[in-house]
Structure 1
Amino acid sequence: MKQTGSLFRRFLKIHFLFIFLPPMILIFFSAFFGGSGIPKKEMNPLNLFYITVLLFGLIIVAFVILSWLFFLKLQRRLSHLQEVMSMTARDSAFPKPVSVQSDRMDEIDQLGSSFNWMMQQLEDSRKRAYEEELLRHRLIANLSHDLRTPLTILRGHVTRLNHESVSLEGQLSLTEMDHTITRVGVLMDDLLSYTLLTSGKYPFEPASTDIGRLVRASVAAWYPVFEEKEIQLDVDLPADETFYWEVDPKWMTRVLDNLFQNIIRHAAEGKYANIVVDAAKEQILVADRGPGMDNSSYERGVGMGLSTCDYMLNKMMLKANITSNDKGTRVAIGRA
C-alpha cells in the first residue's frame, strides 16, 4: 500500500516551521528596519526585552494550542478505530468498514485500510466455512439415506440363504454377515443423528427438569429390553429425593438411551447394569460389567454415539466422566 502522506512528518514540519519562522522574521526585520520609524528614546533595552518575551510567549501558547488540537484529532481517530475493533471482539460480528481518506492515506488511514481488508478476509472465510459445512452435512445425510437400500438388499439375501441348506461354517458366516449389516446400519443412524444435531435440525429447548423422574421413566422404558437380554438391573432411584437441571428433556432422554443401548450392544455379556441417581452430588451414574471400552467391539460401535452424547451434554452445560477397564465401564454425568 503506497503511503501518500505521513501524519507525524506533517506534524513535525508544521510545528518546527512555526517555532523557527517567527524568530527568523523578527531577526530579519530587526536587521533591516531596526531604526526606521521608531523613536530611539522608546527603544530602550527594557522595552525590547518585554517585546521579545511577549513574542516568545505568544509563540509558546500558539504552539501548545496547535499541538493540543493535533493530538485531540489524533485521539478521536484512534478512539473511533478502537471502538470498532472492540465491538467486533465483544459481539463476534463483522462491523462496517472504517472510513478511509485515500487522498490523505497517513498512518492511521493505512491502519484502517488494513483492518478493513482483514475483516473482508474473515467474512469470506466464514462464508466459505459455512458453505462447506452445509455441503458436508448434506453429503452425509444423503449417503446415510442412500446406503440403506443396499444394506436392505444384503439383509434380504442373507435371510434367503438362511433358508437354504448350508454347512455349519456357512451358517456362521451368514450370522456374522447379519450382525455386520446391523452394526453398519446402527453406525449410519448414529452418524446421521450427529450430523442433524450439529446442523441445528434438532432444536434445543431447555427447561427445569426433574432428573430423578426422567431417569425413572427411561429405565422403565428400557426394562423389558434388559430383561430380554437377561441383564441384572441394580437401580437406586429414590422417589423422595431428586434434583433439577436446566436441560432439554428430549436431549437428556436421548443421552440415557444411548448409554443403555451401549450396554445392550457391547456389555450384555456382563449380565449387569447399575443405574443410580445421586441427589446429594447431583449426578447420574450408569455402570456395567462388560469388557470395557478398550475392547474392539466398543471401539467399533460406541465412538459416534459418545460424540453425540458429548455434544448434547456440552450444550446443556453438563459433562460425562467415563472410567473403563476390563471389568466394566462407569459413566458419571454431572454439571460441567
Structure 2
Amino acid sequence: MKQNRSLFSRFLKVHFLFIFFPLLVLIFFTAFVPDSNEKEMNMLNLFYFTVLLFGFIIVAFVVISWLFFMRLRKRLTGLQEVMSFSANNNSFPEPISVQTDRMDEIDQLGSSFNWMIQQLEGSRKREYEEELLRHRLIANLSHDLRTPLTILRGLITRLNKESMSFEGQDSLAEMNHTITRVGDLMDDLLSYTLLSSGKHPFHPTSTDIVRLVRASVAEWYPAFEEKEIQLDVDLPTENTFYWEADPKWMTRVLDNLFQNILRHAAEGKYTNIVVDLEKELIIVADRGPGMDNSSYEGGAGIGLSASNYMLKKMKLKADFTSNENGTRVAIGRA
C-alpha cells in the first residue's frame, strides 16, 4: 500500500518549526542590536525576551505534543473498541471508516484491518458452504446406500432357503451380520452429521438422572438377556440428582454405550451399570477385549464422536478407561 502522508513526519516538522524558528528570530534580532549608550538596557530587554521566547517554545512543545498524542490515542482507542466488541460478542467486527485522502499510518492500519475482515468473512462463507455440501453429501450417501443393502439382505434371505453346507450357512450369517453393521455405521454417521449441523433440536431441562438411567436399562434388558450378558445394576431407590440436560440426548448417549457393549464386548458376558450419587456419575463397565481391539475402534468411533458432541453440548464429559480386561465409562459434569 502506497503511503501518501506520514503522521509522525508532520509531528516532527511542526516541532522543528516551533523549536528552531524562534531561535533564528532571536539570532537575527541580536545581530542587529544597536551599539549606543542604552546598550545595557537593550541587553536586559534581550534577556527578558529570550526567557519569554524559551518559555513560549516549551509551552508550545508541550501543548502540541499533548494534542498530538490525545488525537492519536483517540483514533487508536476507536480501533481497539471495534476489536474488543467483536471479541466479546464472538462476531466479526464492522469495517472502520478510513480517510483515503489522508492515509497516514493509522489509516493504513484501519485499511489493513478492513481487508482482514473481508478475508475472514469470505473464508467463513466458504467454510459454511463446504460444510453444507459435506452434510448434504453424507445424508444423500446414507440414504442411497440403503437400497443396495436392502437388496443384499433380500438375496441372503433367499439363499438361506436353499440347501447348502454348514460353511455356506455360516458365510451367509456373517454377510448378514456385516450388512447390519454397515447399516448401523451409516445411521451413526447420519446422526453425527445432523447433530453437528444443528438439525437435531436441543432442549435442556432439569433431568432426573436415576430415573432416566433406570428407564434406559429396562429398555435394553431384553437385548442383554438375549446375548446372555449378566447385567449388574446398582441404582439408588430413593435419592437422585438432576442435570440440566436434554433427556432425549442423554438417552441416545446411553443407547450408544449399551449398543457398543452388545457389538464389541458381548464376549465378556458381563456389564455393570452404577449411578454414584455422591460424585454424580453414571458408570458403565464391561469385561470385553477393550477399546484397543480393532473391532471396537472400527465400529464405535462415529457413535462415540456423536455421544461426545452431545455430552459437550450439555456441559458433561465421558472419561474412558480401557484395557484387555474391559472398558469403563464414567459420565459426569465437565
TM range (shorter): over 0.9
Structure 1: runs of 5+ lacking an equivalent: none
Name the residue aligned to 2:84.
86
Q: CA deviation at 1:88?
A: 2.3
Find the aligned partners of 1:132 and 1:322 in 2 and give their Cα distance: 33
Q: Give the number of equivalent residue pairs.
A: 334
Name the residue aligned to 1:11.
11
Which stretch shows the higher mean deviation, 322-331 or 9-18? Answer: 322-331
Name the residue aligned to 1:255.
253
Name the residue aligned to 1:62.
60
Q: CA deviation at 1:41?
A: 7.7
Which whole-Å deviations, capped at 9, do the CAs of 1:186-220 have from their partners, x for residues lacking one?
00000000000110011111111111111111111
Is the partner of 1:287 in helix, strand or coil? strand
Name the residue aligned to 1:145.
143
> What is the aligned counterpart of 1:237 among 235, 238, 243?
235
Name the residue aligned to 2:329.
331
Name the residue aligned to 2:22.
22
Q: CA deviation at 1:229?
A: 2.1
Question: Under a length normalisation based on structure 1, what TM-score does the superposition of the two structures give?
Answer: 0.94
User: What's the RMSD between the two structures over aligned residues?
Assistant: 1.8
Find the aligned partners of 1:39 and 1:153 in 2 and give their Cα distance: 126
Which stretch shows the higher mean deviation, 75-84 or 138-147? Answer: 75-84
Find the aligned partners of 2:289 and 2:61 in 1 and give their Cα distance: 84
Which whole-Å deviations, capped at 9, do the CAs of 1:227-282 have from their partners, x for residues lacking one?
22222111100111211111111111110111111112222222211111010111
Q: CA deviation at 1:291?
A: 2.1
Question: Under a length normalisation based on structure 2, what TM-score does the superposition of the two structures give?
Answer: 0.95
In structure 2, the CA distance between the partners of 1:39 and 1:244, relative to structure 1 (3 Å rule), is farther
Name the residue aligned to 2:73.
75
Q: What code does the residue aligned with 1:298 have?
A: Y
Q: CA deviation at 1:284?
A: 0.6
In structure 2, the CA distance between the partners of 1:54 and 1:268, relative to structure 1 (3 Å rule), is same
Contact 2:26 2:50 (C-alpha < 8 Å) held by counterparts: no
Is the partner of 2:123 in helix, strand or coil? helix
Q: CA deviation at 1:30?
A: 4.3
> What is the aligned counterpart of 2:169 among 171, 175, 186?
171
Name the residue aligned to 2:211.
213
Find the aligned partners of 1:118 and 1:215 in 2 and give their Cα distance: 50
Structure 2: runs of 5+ lacking an equivalent: none
Q: What code does the residue aligned with 2:184 have?
A: V
Is the partner of 2:331 in helix, strand or coil? strand
